[in-house]
Amino acid sequence: QGCTQKYIVKNYFYYYLFKFSAALGEEIFYITFLPFTYWNIDHSVSRRMIIVWSIVMYIGQVSKDILKWPRPLSPPVVKLEMRTNAEYGMPSTHAMAATAISFSFFIATMNQYKYPFELGLVAAFVFSTLVCLSRLYTGMHTVLDVIGGALISAALLTLLYPAWDTIDHLLLTSPFCPLFSIAVPLVLCYNYPKLDYYSPTRGDTTTILGAAAGATVGFWLNNQYAAPAYTSKSFQPGFPLVTSTMVLMLARFFVGISVVLLTRWVTKSVVLGALGYRYKFPIHDLQARRRLEVEVPYKFVTYSSVGFTATVIVPLLHELLGLM
């Protein structure tokens, strides 16, 4: 419903720190950091992070709409965000995503790259803690929401870790991977728990599953027809500190993110236009875009295109431009 209280910022350090930390659990972070790891660090690390992230986020989003625990009341809490106020609170998916991404990145890299174990552990802990604290500071979650989200994510990561090599292998080599990667997320999105009023959780879940589906199909295609995932070293520079290499990494990132954002804009416009023609509504009609038959296909197609572009089209463009 929006912010219900006016507020005055007295400590700008905490205000901007936690506003920034909150953004680390949102789309702007996912659409930049996850592709960055694929383009510049390691294919296997990126694949494992995306697998864990999509599973954890789906379970977290569905749990919210099953449990239906309200967010903190305002007043007395001052809420600094508006959009997510329409969602339920338990568990905090920001806390779940931050815990899943930071610790899966740490676990996936600790045996592949040379850096102090303690440093990686502290970095993962600090990252997830900042995001968790940001949800309290912005008034969007209770302490129980945040702790519950972090613990659920940790439990899921513990359960997935022994199997993630097997899952990764099947997604790369199984001939059924493309069909499975598209059909299962679509079924889950169309059968998302129904609420008495509109909540952005279904749309956000569709965005996440769509991006993961497109990326997974891209992983499979790359392994089948481009460079096999288990032998390619071209995308595995580790953590270089050489200036020229850093410039190359930044060039890959800016080229890649430009193409990804362009893909998102073009695909969204085309799909919404087609759905608007099919169901007879103007593309700027927000209520129409929230309908199940519109929201799921438009977000799924848009973000699966983003995931596919990030894993297939962008690497080909990098090679064409000599950025390998």
Question: What are the residue numbers of the active site?
Answer: 94, 141
Per residue in 147-191, pLDDT (tens digit) is 998 999 999 999 988 888 888 888 888 889 899 999 999 999 898
Range of the domain at 157: 12-321
- Output 222-229 pairs: Cβ under 8 A, ≥24 positions apart: 222/43, 222/311, 222/312, 222/315, 223/172, 223/173, 226/315, 229/43, 229/44, 229/47, 229/172
Is 1 within the bounds of a domain? no
Please name the helix (run of DSSP H) or strand (run of DSSP E) that holds residue 256, with its range, or none.
helix 243-279
243-284 pLDDT, tens digit each: 677 888 888 889 889 999 999 999 999 988 888 888 888 878
Q: In the block, which residue shows the tokens 């070293």?
A: 233
CB atoms within 10 A of CB 262: 11
Q: DSSP secondary-structure letter at 161? A: G
* CA separation for the pair 28, 207 (Å, rounded): 12
Q: Is residue 64 part of a domain?
A: yes
Residue 4: its pLDDT value, please? 54
Residue 234, in any domain of the structure: yes
- Whether 220 maps to a domain, the answer reads yes
For residue 263, being part of any structural domain is answered with: yes
How many domains are there within the chain? 1
Report the percentage of the chain scoring pLDDT > 70.
91
* Residue 256: inside a domain: yes
105 occurs within a structural domain: yes
Domain-located, residue 198 = yes
Given a contact cutoff of 8 angstroms between Cβ atoms, the answer to whether 246 and 37 are in contact is no
Residue 160's CB: how many other CB atoms inside 10 A?
Answer: 17
CA pair distance 16, 19, nearest whole angstrom: 5
Query: Cα(165)–Cα(154) distance, rounded to whole angstroms?
Result: 18
Cα–Cα distance for residue pair 55/104, rounded to 1 Å? 12
What's the pLDDT at 109? 84
Q: Is the peptide bond before 200 cis (omega within 30 degrees of 0)?
A: no
